[in-house]
Structure 1
Amino acid sequence: MSLLSLRGVRKQYGENVVLDGFDLEVDAGECVVLIGASGSGKSTLLRCVNLLETVDDGVIELAGADITDPRADADKVRSGIGIVFQAYNLFPHLTVLDNITLAPIRVHRVPRATARTRAMEMLERVGLADKASAKPDELSGGQQQRAAIARAMVNSPQLMLLDEVTSALDPELVGEVLDLLRELKAEGMTMLVCTHEMAFARDVADQVCFLHHGRPLEIGPPAQVLDNPREARTQEFLRRVSGTTGR
């Protein structure tokens, strides 16, 4: 059974249909990379999975439970999902450690000592243990993004959602974040990743899903979607972002 299942998911804002009957299955331990032009629905899809947006139709299941059921406890669902955005969204007046412990302590009622211990484990994991007492503006962009990933991991999520997490970084800092994601994948973390980093998609993804007008126009292994795409629109997109269709 898939860890994450989306069936017929639809989302629109006024007359603008952003997701149009979207279907996707993500198995435990898989990394599925979402690619597509701006406005194709990638970010909205992640926000629907994390219940930051309410779907208009369709079903999203996580570990077999219908999380789109109005009776679902959104806070409980979110505690099992980590989400990281392209903007780091760290509170500038708090230390890195306090940023990471804020939600566990205030939302999930984790004892402070337990939360701090777990947060330090995560900072060690992402190579930032020595920055625990620093403020976000004392960190590089890559360090801030790794801190945001540590914050998303602190509750031991079943699923990680990553939305263009390298797009705001200087080119020389992109690699350190992508290396961390590669390590998480190797450790068995299930990930749904929006990115324009085609090399990362080719190296790490189990499936690549090309979105067009809110639908999964083409989905399959990286070698098929990136190097031998069947759809003309996929070929056009890849020509634009990487200069090749693999053909």
Structure 2
Amino acid sequence: MKDHSLLTVEGLWKSYHGHAVLRGIDLEVRPHEVVCLVGASGSGKSTLLRCVNLLETVDDGAIHLDGRDITDVRVDPDAVRKRMGVVFQAFNLFPHMTVLDNITLAPRKVHGTGRREAEQQALELLERFGLADKAKAYPDRLSGGQQQRVAIIRALAVRPLLMLLDEVTSALDPALVAEVLGVIRELKGSGMTMILTTHEMGFCREIADTVCFLDNGVLLEKAPPEEFFTDPKEPRTRQFLRSVLDARRI
């Protein structure tokens, strides 16, 4: 474990029914760094995030978070997850609860924060991200973009060490994508450490400190965004980027 790394993934393998989905992944994430995972559907991006959050059991390799091997069998996965914020494609908000109650549930029930403190923090986050007037609203009264922003705020409410964002704009209409990307920009500006998967190549180029290309479960190429997008080294990376650009022209 390198002392300047917040997260390291070393030789990570994961298989389903005998099929290897992740093949010897090595990844290092430093504090305040934004790492974008890109690649075709089925390349292993989401599985990697799920392994980092211990939603999947790894078959081989190790993951260290803040100096601790979290893949050790003696580690409590729930204790590890308390230190991470996770946002998936689906908003997964509780429909019978208000926005405020959705955001304060984990701080109160999991972290033991008092209701008044949890609500104050939630209201501050809602104000910060332009949703102060939605605190008492129910999820079905919000647009898709607003729901995803609430989902991100809910993840932030536990004061995570690391944020994992899995295709958080893929379920949104194009008109709503910009408001969610704006939240992620703000998080980067505040120094949040993030790993995110995305198909938004322009945004990836803007937001990432490091871009990682996964292909068939292998982390094939890793580089700063300018190098990745202008001078990719691997033929498969060049092919992937061409296919993305060609799709946008259709």
- TM-score by length of structure 2 reads 0.95
1:230 equivalent in alignment to 2:233: yes
Which of 3, 8, 21 is the aligned partner of 2:24? 21
1:193-225, CA deviations, whole angstroms, 9 ceiling, x for partnerless residues?
A: 100001111111010000011111000011111
The alpha-carbon deviation at position 241 of structure 1 amounts to 1.2
- 1:36 is aligned to 39
1:57 equivalent in alignment to 2:57: no
Provide the C-alpha distance between the structure 1 equivalents of 2:15 and 2:210, rounded to a whole number of angstroms: 26
SS in 1 for 2:230: coil
The alpha-carbon deviation at position 55 of structure 1 amounts to 0.7
Provide the C-alpha distance between the structure 1 equivalents of 2:99 and 2:195, rounded to a whole number of angstroms: 25
Aligned length: 244
The answer to whether the 8 A contact 1:12-1:19 is kept is yes
Provide the C-alpha distance between the structure 2 equivalents of 1:106 and 1:66, rounded to a whole number of angstroms: 26
- 1:123 is aligned to 126
- 2:84 is aligned to 81
Which of 144, 155, 161 is the aligned partner of 2:158? 155
What is the letter of the counterpart of residue 131 of structure 1? K
Provide the C-alpha distance between the structure 1 equivalents of 2:75 and 2:226, rounded to a whole number of angstroms: 38
1:203 equivalent in alignment to 2:206: yes
The answer to whether the 8 A contact 1:198-1:242 is kept is no
Provide the C-alpha distance between the structure 2 equivalents of 1:226 and 1:19, rounded to a whole number of angstroms: 24
- 1:8 is aligned to 11
What is the letter of the counterpart of residue 11 of structure 1? K
The answer to whether the 8 A contact 2:111-2:158 is kept is no
The alpha-carbon deviation at position 108 of structure 1 amounts to 2.1
Provide the C-alpha distance between the structure 2 equivalents of 1:76 and 1:116, rounded to a whole number of angstroms: 23
- 1:132 is aligned to 135
Q: Which runs of 4+ in 1 moved over 2 A?
A: none
- 1:181 is aligned to 184
The answer to whether the 8 A contact 1:182-1:204 is kept is yes
The answer to whether the 8 A contact 1:32-1:191 is kept is yes
Give the CA RMSD over aligned residues.
1.1
Provide the C-alpha distance between the structure 1 equivalents of 2:102 and 2:80, rounded to a whole number of angstroms: 21
The answer to whether the 8 A contact 1:207-1:220 is kept is yes
1:110 equivalent in alignment to 2:113: yes
What is the letter of the counterpart of residue 91 of structure 1? F
The alpha-carbon deviation at position 188 of structure 1 amounts to 0.5
- TM-score by length of structure 1 reads 0.96
Which of 140, 144, 158 is the aligned partner of 2:147? 144
SS in 2 for 1:5: strand
The alpha-carbon deviation at position 10 of structure 1 amounts to 0.8
Task: State the identity as a percent.
Answer: 63
Provide the C-alpha distance between the structure 1 equivalents of 2:145 and 2:94, rounded to a whole number of angstroms: 16
Q: Where in structure 2 are the equivalents of 1:164-179 lying within 5 Å?
A: 164-179=167-182
The answer to whether the 8 A contact 2:169-2:177 is kept is yes
The answer to whether the 8 A contact 1:34-1:194 is kept is yes
SS in 2 for 1:8: strand
What is the letter of the counterpart of residue 160 of structure 2? P
Mark the runs of 5 or more structure 1 residues left unpaired by the alignment: none
